Chain A
């Protein structure tokens, strides 16, 4: 099928359900295939929904970190020019709170989500899912949250309980 015909079919489908729309809506949204959706869906939920296949541990994660992350974030996630990623545990209620991945972040899934979206800073999207799981494992390891050889994947990552998990409250409550 040509692209033009495909578009016409999609348009026909859209017009077909247009009757349910408000009178002031032109109903121009194009329906998407599952494959098209998967290509743009980066959302990862705290329960692990959205995590892709793949796995990694802190041993391989260390090498990847040292190649891709150390320049900005320092050795073992501390002492760099940008955000401190490790340490600070127990500091939040003290005079000098240090918010790091280990001391502050409530959900381990957020680490994978953020790395896949935005890191490494100069070349986001350049790491494989295995690589991202490995760097995630390394950041958990340098924060003493998992063992160095623990395999992190779509099953195990949501089960990692972050140390500061219970110290968050919501400022907004949905109806």
Chain B
């Protein structure tokens, strides 16, 4: 059945994506290496296994799958990042324990019983909400991505950094975020005419603060309490965080403490001196919130070594802060030709979308890359297009096409193509 789709549809061995629609992808096509069989009873089948536990943990054989490149600024702990190990993951949900972190002064040890969310400023009634009170509000839950606007910043380096997919691009993750629509709380406080922004503060030691347009807040912002079905992890804002679907992670203030409704932004340190985009003429753009359309191949990627020539799955993630992914194309000849990738069933707005292509690697050198298009018609740009006009060192909002080179030994490297 699968055989009929094994004809190449783009250069250097890319096959028709319909191979994923036919039953038994691994059957005749043998995309995956078959496990050797024949043993009647393996060692772990000869006695009862381990008991239940009250807290799940990954297999001991997966202990290497951890957050990557955990680092902090000199003289500090907890002022830096840890990255999602994208190259070890599949599907669209990021396990909470592997969700990247970006903190500005560590993770506060918040007592949820003492924490309050205060809404004030240009409102009729300044209000305070306990966590217990918030849990009684109608909630919304959506599966969406969160990306630091500094993600992929290493791709501005003049020569390609030989680092893994997760180290280079792991400041993105997708979770099911559940919480109370902030619009409901603002309506209760009574927003006054003329209000246009909120200033959100966190309860961390740096009191991280960002200004967010009121229009976005009333559209789809939530005070998130849940991540992947459980209460937020401390590193992601326990007990509550602001979540702004599709917008840069820094504005999704963790450990949310106060919201001040105002008619203008506060021009905080992070929104002016940090998360602003400088061009080569010395002009900086403020408030560049939405994350651009982007994709990357996670398997194979830097650090992988291919087996023998033959049929391989090329898999990756695509996302856009503007909406749904409409299309992902994959090239195996450095962008000379492209073939549509198959998208997994769940194609959700402002969420990671998993794509897959079948590639018959001939054992020779190849450059593989992916290119996403969202439902607003935005097409992922090339690296050179992203960097065009930018100041030297301007690394925020990098969404260029990622190329991986496979050599004759099957080794995969980061390249600019």
Contacts and interface: CB of A to CB of B under 8 A. Distances in A.
Nearest to B211: A43
Interface centre among B73, B199, B213, B266 (most CB of A within 10 A): B266
A17 B125 contact: yes
B258 interface: yes
Contacts of B392: 95-97
Interface in A69-83: 71-72, 81-82
Contact of A29 (B105, B125, B282, B287): B125
Given A17-B125, A124-B206, A45 B285 contact: no
Contact of A45 (B266, B288, B393): B266
B9 interface: no
B101 interface: no
A169 B283 contact: yes
B88 interface: no
Contacts of A124: 105, 205-207
| A29, A92, A113 interface centre (most CB from chain B within 10 Å) | A29
A37 B116 CA distance: 12
A71 B266 contact: no
Contacts of B287: 170-172
A32 B187 contact: no
Contact of B126 (A28, A37, A92, A107): A37
B408 interface: no
B268 A172 contact: no
B89 interface: no
Contacts of B73: 81-82
Interface residues of A, number: 53
Contact of A174 (B105, B134, B184, B213): B213
Nearest to B129: A29
Nearest to A95: B392
Interface string B267-279: 1110011001110
Interface stretch (A18-26, A60-68, A133-141, A148-156): A18-26
B118 interface: yes
B134 to A, nearest CB: 8
A46 B136 contact: no
Nearest to A34: B126
Contacts of B394: 97
A174 B278 CA distance: 21
Given A117-B206, A124-B206, A171 B289 contact: yes
A118 B105 contact: yes
A97 B283 CA distance: 11
B129 A110 contact: no
A97 B391 contact: yes
Given A22-B187, A97-B391, A118-B206, A110 B74 contact: no
B56 interface: no
B285 A37 contact: no
Contacts of B268: 110, 113-114
B184 A25 contact: yes
A110 B286 contact: no
- What bracket does the count of chain B residues touching chain A fall in? 35 or more
B74 A167 contact: no
Q: Which of B130, B137, B209, B269 has the most CB of A within 10 A?
A: B269
Interface string B36-74: 000000000000000000000000000000000000011
A128 interface: no
Contact of B393 (A41, A97, A106): A97
A40 interface: yes
Nearest to B287: A172
Interface string A118-136: 1001001000000000000
A30 B276 contact: no
A140 to B, nearest CB: 15
B75 A174 contact: no
Nearest to A99: B273
B258 A40 contact: yes
Given A99-B273, A170-B285, A118 B205 contact: yes
Contacts of B187: 21-22, 25
B206 A106 contact: no
Given A29-B188, A42-B209, A170-B286, A104 B137 contact: no
B282 A32 contact: no
B230 interface: no
A36 B188 contact: no
Given A105-B273, A169-B283, A121 B105 contact: yes
A82 B138 CA distance: 44
A93 interface: yes
B207 A32 contact: no
Interface of B: 73-76, 79, 104-105, 118-121, 125-130, 133-134, 136-138, 184-185, 187-190, 196-197, 199, 201, 205-207, 209, 213-215, 257-258, 260, 262, 264, 266-269, 272-273, 276-278, 280-289, 391-394
9 contacts: A17-B125, A29-B188, A30-B128, A32-B118, A44-B266, A82-B74, A97-B282, A97-B393, A168-B285
Give the top 7 A-B pairs by smallest Cβ distance, nearest first. A29-B127, A93-B282, A171-B288, A117-B207, A92-B282, A81-B74, A28-B133
Given A27-B188, A118-B206, A124-B207, 11 more contacts: A30-B133, A41-B260, A43-B258, A43-B266, A71-B75, A72-B75, A93-B281, A117-B209, A167-B282, A171-B286, A174-B215
